[in-house]
Amino acid sequence: MGWMKDESGLERTKANYTPLTPLSWLQRAARVFPEHMAVVYGPHRKTYAEYYERVTRLASALTKLGVEPGDVVATLIPNLPTQAEAHFGVPACGGVLNTINTRLEADTVGYILDHGEAKVLLVDPQFLPMAAEAIERMFGPAPIVIEVADDHAGVHAHGHYMEYEALLDTGDADFEWIMPEDEWESIALNYTSGTTGRPKGVVYHHRGAYLNAMGQAISWRLQLHPRYLTIVPLFHCNGWCHTWLMPAYGGTVICCRDITAPAIFDAIADEGATHFGGAPIVLNALVNAPESERRAFDHVVEVFTAGAPPAPATLAKIEPMGFNVTQVYGLTETYGPATECTWAERWDNLEGDDRAAIKARQGVAMPIYQEITVVDENDHQIPMDGTTQGEIVMRGNGVMKGYLKNPEETAKAFKNGYFHSGDIAVQHPDSYIQIADRAKDIIISGGENISSVEVEGVLMGHPDVLLCAVVAKPDEKWGEVPCAFVELKDNHKTDEAALIAFAREKLAGFKTPKKVVFQELPKTSTGKIQKFELRKLARAM
């Protein structure tokens, strides 16, 4: 199908085909933008020529440590230059990069190191005690540990292991990168933040990393020399592939160790940050930052937000501050963002809550996907009526290879030729997807389905509420009822009765929270609220 009658001599050759890989972007940037700033972090300022040389030395040094093509190199590092260098240096020696969540406990990190069979582990000194405990818990061979000091933040090396800069000194600047012969070769291994059982190892290939990054470039309206601020942890879906993408545009990666409102405002004002991604909790921090922590800036900052549907109240407040927010949606299994709430001209005249309500949608497939839609339990398309619920499924170049050493879970995830997300959504008549809930987050009260997202959206509109999460609380009469956990803004006060009354004005009676608990909410490293912890508290009430 699609072949011409006579295609003799029209074969794939080195001249007309090379495997897609984001490595090619840094090779090109070193030639095209050698003097342009590639990575900045305090006094650390490296041009593309310098960045390329450091990456090359890293690849060479890892090879000398015994890393062979297909071997895993793991990291436990915040959003620092070394983490960016590893994104290129590890695959440039044929290795597979495994960026580990720095907020995991030693037992899980030990499991990940074992399961992925890491040969080398690059560690920030802050996480070295945890890493040492994790290695003690391993059953297989321990990885070679390299310490990555962060003197700018006062996080100095312990001196127990070889240091990163000394490792680079052992590498050759003229090392020839080991480029993939097949774009299906693995580039990264990312472990899902499993809330039950052991995390699954999601495997990315070079083709997917290249295309996912390029798809976002279109979505994000990128132009030459963007200045990208690393808010999304680089251990989370490889920072949504943004670090791989930046050299394609001669962009500058602005590293940020501690994600706080002052740090973000400083990066925008002092370093000219033009783009960042972050969970709604980051937007909340900016909206609620006191004037003393804010900085003036005169350009629009493009923001991708994901991780949970942002409350319309938050979106309505942040855009006038100089941020253009695009809601995206994806999973570890999709290299990060897979859909975007692409803005349409028909919405240009919308303001306030109406505008924010559209922005809160997860949207449509990014350009690299063949299809992302919502299906029923038989994998048939649901009615696009904005009310019928189903599961988000997808197929295309941005879907993982599968789960490492887990063919059963891989087959289950890919049933009927779709990747099954486990996320419950509706589809509007214009095909835009809007998440209703994770399947496990739906509250079934007296036989009625209640979306925790809907209840949270209402509560977030209260002037005293900073953050909230709604989960099911067991109830003798109704089976379960909504229970709200609420974090208040500094120096703000309200009580349970007032919040319930506020919600009752906008929600049906059965959807209104029956219990409100005021406390700090447990969160993951990416700012997602850990509802499984709150469910435990609700069950114990």
Q: Are residues 138 and 149 in the same domain?
A: yes
Query: Is the predicted pLDDT of residue 323 greater than 90, yes or no?
Result: yes
For 505-522, what is the mean pLDDT?
90
What is the maximum span of the chain, computed from C-alpha positions, in angstroms? 78
Provide mean pLDDT across the span 188-196: 77
Question: Would you say residue 448 lies in a domain?
Answer: yes
Chain centre to alpha carbon of residue 226: 19
Structural domain span for residue 121: 45-206
Query: Are 401 and 460 part of one and the same domain?
Result: no
Q: What percent of the chain has pLDDT over 90?
A: 81
Tell whether 419 and 480 lie within a shared domain: no
Instruction: Look up residue 163 and give its two tokens.
Output: 């240091």
Model confidence at 70, pLDDT cuts 50, 70, 90, reads very high
| pLDDT 10s digits, 210-220 | 999 999 998 89
Asked if residue 98 belongs to a domain, the reply is yes
Residue 145 lies in a domain: yes
Which residue in this structure is represented by tokens 């069979």? Answer: 117
pLDDT surpasses 60 at 196: no
Query: 451 and 372, same structural domain?
Result: no
**CA–CA distances in Å: residue 478 to residues 228, 514, 538:** 49, 11, 15
The per-residue pLDDT for range 98-114, each reduced to its tens digit, is 999 898 889 889 999 99
pLDDT tens digits, residue range 361-409? 899 999 999 999 999 999 999 999 999 999 999 999 999 999 999 999 9
- CA–CA gap between residue 387 and residue 185 (Å, rounded): 41
Residue 7 lies in a domain: no
- 466-493 pLDDT tens trace: 999 999 998 877 878 999 999 999 999 9
pLDDT band of 309, cuts 50, 70, 90:
low
Q: Model confidence at 447, in pLDDT bands (50, 70, 90)?
A: low
Q: Are residue 82 and residue 136 in the same domain, yes or no?
A: yes
pLDDT at 391: 95
What single-letter DSSP state applies at residue 141? P
Q: Is 421 helix (H, G, I), strand (E, B) or coil?
A: strand
Sign of the dihedral through C-alpha 316, 319, 323, 329: positive
* Adjacent-strand bridge partners of 438: 423
Examine the domain organization and report whether 311 and 410 are in the same domain: yes
Whether residue 385 sits in one domain with residue 291: yes
Give me the pLDDT at residue 72, please.
Answer: 98
Is 172 a member of any domain? yes
Write the secondary structure of 380-392 as one string of H (helix), E (strand) and C (coil).
CECCCCCCCCEEE
Residue 449: give its domain's CATH number: 3.30.300.30
Rounded CA gap, 443 and 446, in Å?
Answer: 10
Q: Which of 439, 459, 479 is the last residue of a domain?
A: 439
In a domain, 219, yes or no: no
Q: Model confidence at 158, in pLDDT bands (50, 70, 90)?
A: very high
Q: Could you please report the per-residue DSSP string of 177-240?
A: P---SSTTSEEEEEE---SSSSPPEEEEEHHHHHHHHHHHHHHTT--SS-EEE--S-TTSHHHH
Q: Mean pLDDT throughout 71-81? A: 98
Residues 362 and 335 in one domain: yes
What is the pLDDT, as a whole number, of residue 195? 45
How many domains is the chain built from?
3
The DSSP secondary-structure symbol of 429 reads T
Q: Same domain for 181 and 273?
A: no
Least confident of 211-225, 239-253, 303-317: 303-317
Task: Tally the C-alpha atoms within 13 A of residue 183's C-alpha that lie toward its C-beta.
Answer: 14
Helix-strand-coil percent breakdown of the chain, rounded to 5? 35, 25, 40
Beta-carbon count within 10 A of 448 CB:
12
| pLDDT for residue 14 | 93
Question: Domain check: are 78 and 119 in the same one?
Answer: yes
Collapsing DSSP to helix, strand or coil, 300 comes out as: coil
Q: CA-based Rg of the chain, rounded to a whole angstrom? A: 24
Q: What is the mean pLDDT of residues 150-154?
A: 96
Name the residue with higher pLDDT: 105 or 42. 42
Q: Are residues 192 and 142 in the same domain?
A: yes
Confidence of residue 31 (pLDDT cuts 50, 70, 90): very high
| Among candidate residues 424, 439, 454, the one where a domain is terminated | 439
Q: Can you list the positions of beta strands (E) in 308-375?
A: 323-331, 336-340, 364-365, 369-375
pLDDT for res 308: 67
330 by DSSP, 3-state: which? strand
Give the model's pLDDT for residue 103: 83
Query: Is residue 8 in some structural domain?
Result: no
Sequence length of the chain is 541
Q: How far apart are CA 316 and CA 327, in angstroms?
A: 13
- Domain end among 439, 472, 503: 439
Among 17-31, 274-288, 431-445, where is mean pLDDT lowest? 431-445
| CATH number where 374 lies | 3.40.50.12780
Say whether both 332 and 395 belong to one domain.
Answer: yes
Whether residue 28 lies inside any domain: the answer is: no
